[in-house]
Each structure stands twice: as structure tokens, then as C-alpha cells.
Amino acid sequence: MLTLLPSAAGAGTPDTPELRDQAGDANYVHSHGLLPLPDDGPDTRPASVDGADIVAGWYETEYRTELTLDGDGAATAARYEPEALLVHLRTTGAPIPSFGPTVSYNLWVNVGACSMIFRFYARGALSSEGDPAQGAELRTRKAECLEGPKTYTEGITLAVAGNVTTLRYPFDALSLGNVPLFDEGYQIEADSDGNALQISTSHRLPNGLLLGGQPIDMAGPPQPFVIGSDVPPDVDCLATPGAPACTS
């Protein structure tokens, strides 16, 4: 008999993030050597967004717990099955702008030979309502990716809690047949083209024209992460009957 417990997120690593950046360097204050600008300016306020200053990013594997029970209802095994990749981004303030232009957050990574972008965006007050309000997506960029260059949105969710934004990428929704884009054991690495995290503003006019792409903060490259590496090992409850996973 198999019992499925509610999904439990694996141990997060907000204190040891794969991506770090200093606070107070958004609004073009620091170009990280990636733009033809001095590192101390210019500040672009008030057009930019004060809260959208990245300080950390980290990955987490979400998993479900499967308990195998004997005829008396006692657990004989606890198994942990990874089912989604979580991407957390911490900013110094609320990531959704309450004024100013639309903001997009783009984390460029590689999974194997596939270059992709973990992305979310939120419409600012300056943009017309023709701009989507907010959303999360995955963009794959190269022919080496599962279905080539493509933007995925189905099943991908965005959750904001204070100054931490979490993007959820479920394995089963991001697959071609039985071949997933993400799975246990896949390694997420820095983008092979040298891109990292970029937060940009844009501004859509009522006529639909998009004025865009002003970067306001950058970070990276991120450290690698192996999906599933933060999931606890399965437990043999017959061998270790006192294990917490077997007695709950």
C-alpha cells in the first residue's frame, strides 16, 4: 500500500545561495563591468524601481513523500520523489513595481547544452494595460533544447512573499513525451554565453509599442546546482524503524 503525503519543499539554502549580489547597486549604480558605464553611475531614478535590487538567488527541489505501508499500517519505506524545480530570488524590496515602468527578471542558465532563461515580469504603472500584468515563464534559446527555442508558460507559477519571489517549474508540465526538461540529477550551470541575471525595465505605450530594455541590476554568474541534491535519501523503515519519516 502506498500513501502520498502532501508535497513538502526540500531544504532551501537561502543562507548559501547560488547567486549573490550587493544591495544598493540597482538603478545603474553598479554596472558590474558588463555595460559601458562607470561603476558608480549614473543613477536612473525616478524611472527605475528601487525595490528591484537583487541580493540573492537560490534553487530548491520540491518533492513529494511516498510512504509504503504494511498490512498493519506501519511504514516499511519512505521515498522522496522530486517533482518541481523552485527558483528563489531575493530583492531588497517588493519585486512588483508600484510605480514606474514594467520590470522583468531574467536568470540565464545552462542545463546541459540547452541555454535557457528563468523569467518573470510585472507591469508597472507607466505601461499601458496592453502589457501583461505579471507572469512567469521559461525561455529555451537553442536548437539543443528539448523542443528548440520556445517560451513555456503552462504550469509555471509565480509566488511573491515579501521580498522573495519563487518561480515553480514542474517537471511533468515541462517535458516532451517522457523526456523532461528538468529531472533529478540534471545540473543547472552558468549560461555558456556568459549571461547571468539581469533585471530590466520596459515601457509599453498605448499603441502597443514596447520601449525597453534598460537594465537596472545584474548579478552572477550563479554557482551550479544539481536538481535533487537537496532531497533527503529514501528511508528503509524496516532497517531503521525509529526514523522520523517512518513514524509520522
The residues that touch Ca ion, with contacts defined as CB under 5 A, are 21, 25, 53-54, 217
Least distance between Ca ion and beta carbon 89 (Å): 11
Q: Give me the least distance between CB of 248 and Ca ion, in Å please.
A: 41
- CA 106 from chain centre, in angstroms, equals 9
**CB closer to Ca ion out of 32 and 142:** 32
Report the length, in residues, of the chain.
Answer: 248
Minimum distance between the CB of residue 74 and Ca ion, rounded to whole angstroms? 51
CB contact at 8 A, 119 and 137: yes
Smallest gap from Cβ 161 to Ca ion, in A, equals 19
Chain position whose Cβ is nearest to Ca ion: 21
Is 82 or 220 the residue whose CB approaches Ca ion more closely? 220
Residues 204/205/209/210 CA torsion (nearest 10 deg) = -20
- Provide, rounded to whole angstroms, the least separation between the CB of residue 218 and Ca ion: 8
CA distances from 209 to 23, 131, 199, 201, 203 (A): 32, 10, 20, 14, 8
Beta carbon of residue 149, minimum distance to Ca ion (angstroms, whole number)? 29
- Which residue number, 53 or 230, has a Cβ lying nearer to Ca ion? 53
C-alpha to C-alpha distance for 133 and 114, rounded to whole angstroms: 28
Is the previous residue joined to 46 through a cis bond, with omega within 30 degrees of 0? Answer: yes
Contacts 24+ apart (CB under 8 A), 146-151: 146/114, 146/175, 146/176, 146/179, 146/181, 147/176
Cβ-based nearer residue to Ca ion, 32 or 64: 32
Kindly tell me which of 217 and 230 has the beta carbon lying closer to Ca ion.
217
> Closest CB to Ca ion among 19 and 231?
19
Euclidean distance between CA atoms 106 and 87, whole angstroms: 11
